[in-house]
Amino acid sequence: MNTQILCGIIKAQINPLYFRVSGETVVWLDGNGIPDENSIYKTTENIAIVQDVIDNYAIYEAEYLAQKEIDDSNAEIIRQISEIDLKRIRPLVDGDMKYLEIYNNQITELRALLK
């Protein structure tokens, strides 16, 4: 089990301020981030979530890695969209609809490339 992936899967369901992963063990934290065996975050529900993730790790790992691959491949496109989006501010303020439309079309084309 990869600790980083295990932590990523769990933190998708439980606030990462509530726990720490050490190897295959989840350490529950108090409100100050200190390990606490009697943590208020060590609820029946959170324990069940962790147990489900551990029991079904292979399935969750495959989903996690597939999503990471998609996110990684989309990162450059999203960066380009953000850059163009910032360029839209001036035409929007100036009411220059011609340039605004050009930028909007560029963003639409890039969004179509997202997986």
* Inter-residue contact 88 to 104 (CB < 8 Å): yes
Q: Residue 66: inside a domain, yes or no?
A: no
Helix orientation angle between 44-55 and 3-11, rounded to the nearest 10 degrees: 140
* Inter-residue contact 6 to 21 (CB < 8 Å): yes
Q: Other CB atoms closer than 10 Å to residue 40's CB: what's the count? A: 11
Q: Is 9 helix (H, G, I), strand (E, B) or coil?
A: helix
Mean local confidence (pLDDT), 36-47 = 96
pLDDT of residue 46: 97
Looking at the fold, whether 82 and 50 belong to one and the same domain comes out as no
Percent share of the chain, pLDDT over 70: 100
Inform me whether the pLDDT recorded for 2 exceeds 90: yes
Percent share of the chain, pLDDT over 90: 78
The pLDDT tens digits for 47-91 are 999 999 999 999 999 999 999 999 999 999 999 999 998 888 877
Structure tokens at 82: 């953000």
Q: Residue 65: inside a domain, yes or no?
A: no
User: Which domain, by its residues, includes 28?
Assistant: 1-55
* C-alpha to C-alpha distance for 4 and 12, rounded to whole angstroms: 12
Looking at the fold, whether 8 and 46 belong to one and the same domain comes out as yes
Inform me whether the pLDDT recorded for 24 exceeds 90: no
What amino acid is encoded at 28 in this protein?
W
Better-scored residue on pLDDT, 37 or 93: 37
pLDDT of residue 51: 96
Q: Other CB atoms closer than 10 Å to residue 14's CB: what's the count? A: 19
Q: Is the pTM of this model over 0.95?
A: no
